[in-house]
Amino acid sequence: MSSAQQIDPSEEEALPQVTGTWSLVLGSVAVASTGCPLLPESVPNLLRFLPLYLVLPLGVWAVVSGGIALRRVRGDESAGRTRARAGITLGTVAVVTVMGALVWAVWALRNI
């Protein structure tokens, strides 16, 4: 028997679990979408302003998927929770930014 065949599967080190990756990706896209209006004017308006409509759903989705990922690894001490927490943070930042901008716009329009 070769040495590769003699390895007991129970003795192998467990691979690190990838949890919260979707939350991190969604949160990153939501935060990046908030900066789309700052693109140069040579970029078509569709590409500059369409992602703004997706910021709120992506941010909420990032928070929810991060919460689900954290709940799945609740009892597992070896699981990495960093991606899920980062996704929740980025999603929250995106949602708070959008809500803050809406509150500011309503306030500014009332004072005209």
In a domain, 3, yes or no: no
Closest CA to 67 of 30, 19, 34: 19
Is the entire prediction scored with pTM above 0.95?
Answer: no
Q: Which stretches within the chain are classed as H helix?
A: 21-33, 45-49, 52-72, 82-110
In a domain, 25, yes or no: yes
pLDDT for residue 110: 95
Question: Could you tell me the residue range of the domain that residue 71 belongs to?
Answer: 18-110
In a domain, 93, yes or no: yes
CA-CA distance, 42 to 51, in Å (whole number)? 17
Region 9-34: mean pLDDT is 79
Domains in the chain, number: 1
Q: pLDDT tens for residues 32-63?
A: 999 998 999 999 999 999 999 999 999 999 99
CA-CA distance, 34 to 54, in Å (whole number)? 9
